[in-house]
Every structure is written in C-alpha cells, then in structure tokens.
Amino acid sequence: MKTNYILSFLALMLLVSFQTTAQVDVTLKVDMSGQTISPDGIHAVGTINDWNTTSTMLTQEGSTSVYSATIQLNSGWHEYKFLNGNAWGAEEQAGYPCAPSNGNRFLYVNDSGVPVVLTAVPFGGCNASGTSFEVTLNVDMSNESSVSGNGIHIAGPFNGWNPGNLALPNVNGDIHSGTFRLPTPLNYPIVFEYKYLNGNAWGTEETPGPEDTCGTVTGTNRLVTVNKSGESLLDVFNGCNYTLGVNSSQLSDAISIFYKKNEGLILNVKESNFQNLKVHVYDLSGRNITFKEISGSGIIPLSQMSKGVYFAGINDTNNNSMVKKFIVF
C-alpha cells in the first residue's frame, strides 16, 4: 500500500510538472509581398530558437505571399525577426512600433495554454494599426530636475532587461512615449513588467512606489496586465500609474481648474448640474494629500503644500471623473 501511494504521488508530481512547463503552439506569419524569395527559404530567428538562423523555416501558404511556421514556445516574452534566407545579412530591418528594440519583434505568450496564430506582418515593416495587439507606454518626467541627454529608456523581459536598446521618444513636453504593436490577437491578455530609466544604463533607473500605495508596482518594478488592445499606460517617473486619459468630456467641459499662488486650487463650475464634487489631491507618489467636497465653484487651500507637481482627481455624483495635473510654486 505504501509503495502504491509513493508511485501515485510521483505520478501526480510529474503531471503537475508537465502542466507547468507545457508549451503552446504559436504560428508565426510574414508577408513577403514585393520581395524576391531566397533559394535558401524564409526563416525566423530569435530567442524562440536560441538565435539559430537555420532551425525555423517558414512554408508558403498556398500561392499567397504569406509564409508561416508553427512552433512550440513557453509562456513569457520572446524576441525574433525574419530572414529572407538562412544567414545573418538576410534579416529584415523593421522598427517602431512593431520592432522597437534593435529591430527585434516582441511576442508575449500568456499562460492560458491556448494556441496562438499571429497576425501576418510585412517583411521589414509593420502591420496596420488595429490588426493586432497594441499598447502605448507613457512616462511623465516633470518631477525630474533634468532629462538625460542619452534619452529616456525602458527595460523589461520584452528586451531582456537591456537598459540601452529601447528608447522612448519625447512626444509632448515632459511626456515620453512608445507604442508596442505585438502580433498577438486584439483580446489576448499580456503581462508587462518594466521600469523606466533617465538615461541608458543601470544606475539611472527609477524605483517607483511605494508598493503599498501604487497598485501597479511590485517591489521596484511596474507590473501591469493589459487585457485588450488599444490601452495606454500612463506613468510618472519614480511615481505611480495615473489614468490621466479617461477624463469625462462632460465634466471637463463643465469645470475649469487651475492653481493660483497664495490661494490654492480654483474650481469654476460653469454648469448647474455639476454641483456636488469630490476632489482628491495626490502627490507624485500617489499619496492622497487632501480631500474636499465642494458644492459648485470653490477654492481648495494648498498653503501647506511643498512646491512641486500634483494631481487633482474630481468625481461627481453621476460617476463622471477627470484628472488635472498642476504645479504648486
């Protein structure tokens, strides 16, 4: 009886081990329209095959210009690119938004175990927006005294935690932004772990948090699950993640808000149906500095607050909301 128990236990452990290390069928696709196909064939190379240029050959789909191959991959992040041939020198040259790091494409395989057929991407280029999973990462650098001449970078499992090969361009004042267009389906959940660097080397990275007030921070890394395409992650360097892009148009049209030195935060309500407002003021670490309920226009005194960047979150009784960044000076 004891022997049977031990054998059953070992069988269970082997089953659990198999389930946790099971691989997923992933179908890679590339559109070779306009390309002269190498007699050596079309190949894929990357972390998917230890960067071996000959081991993953794609097959033409009928008489189309699309070539594909189904391979098995573990869950997690992978980098790859296509070759019109089977040796270095024949690789494609793509860039943002589908190959933003050294011309490598990113691929995330989640732990659902569901086989994945990727969107066909043009050789050396990007598929159209809206045809696959897309997410935009933004970081506000306004709380930093200066921005490195080496640029703002981002590092995570998607680029092997390399601090210098994935820059985020400056797109709007203090905001640096980069869009990742992944070949996975539009509703395929993806886990992002990452941090920003004010430069391009370790030693310039942020340490966001604190963890107990930042729901998107684990330890000193940001950790976010994005469930569907089209989302934007809006972060503050060394601070929390703020949803600044979901302002209610009704509320933002009805209220003007600004900071006036020696007085505080001024709210002017222009429409009578927006009278009962709840106003929270947060600092860059996500701490709630003050809270006030206002009926109509009013002033929130801020005389005790240090100089710096803050956020005002405003809600009404109809669940409309808006967030306004302001500077105390």
Domain co-membership, 109 together with 148: no
Domain co-membership, 73 together with 13: yes
Strand partners, 27: 70, 117
Domain co-membership, 27 together with 117: yes
Q: Rounded to an integer, what distance in angstroms lies between the CA atom of residue 116 and that of residue 282?
A: 41
Domain co-membership, 117 together with 137: no
Q: Which of 122, 148, 175 is the last residue of a domain?
A: 122
Whole-number pLDDT of residue 193: 97
Tell me the residue range of the domain where 288 lies.
Answer: 249-328
- Give the residue ranges of DSSP H helices in the chain: 2-20, 249-254
Q: Which of 190, 214, 236 is the last residue of a domain?
A: 236
pLDDT category at 3 given cuts 50, 70, 90 is very low
Q: How many domains does the chain have?
A: 3
On whether residue 243 sits in a domain, the answer given is no
Domain co-membership, 213 together with 321: no
The residue among 9, 43, 12 whose CA lies nearest residue 28 is 43
Q: Rounded to an integer, what distance in angstroms lies between the CA atom of residue 56 and that of residue 35?
A: 19
H or E element, residue 291? strand 288-295
Q: SS3 for 225?
A: strand
Render pLDDT for 216-261 as a digit per residue (tens, 0 to 9): 889 899 999 999 998 888 888 988 865 444 445 566 677 777 878 7
CATH number at residue 161: 2.60.40.10
On whether residue 242 sits in a domain, the answer given is no
Q: Provide the token pair at 292.
A: 């006030």
Average pLDDT, rounded, for the chain:
85
Render pLDDT for 133-163 as a digit per residue (tens, 0 to 9): 999 898 988 778 899 999 999 999 999 999 9
Mean pLDDT of 46-67: 98
Domain co-membership, 151 together with 231: yes
Domain co-membership, 65 together with 156: no
Residues 6+ apart with CB under 8 A from 159: 79, 101, 104, 106, 165, 166
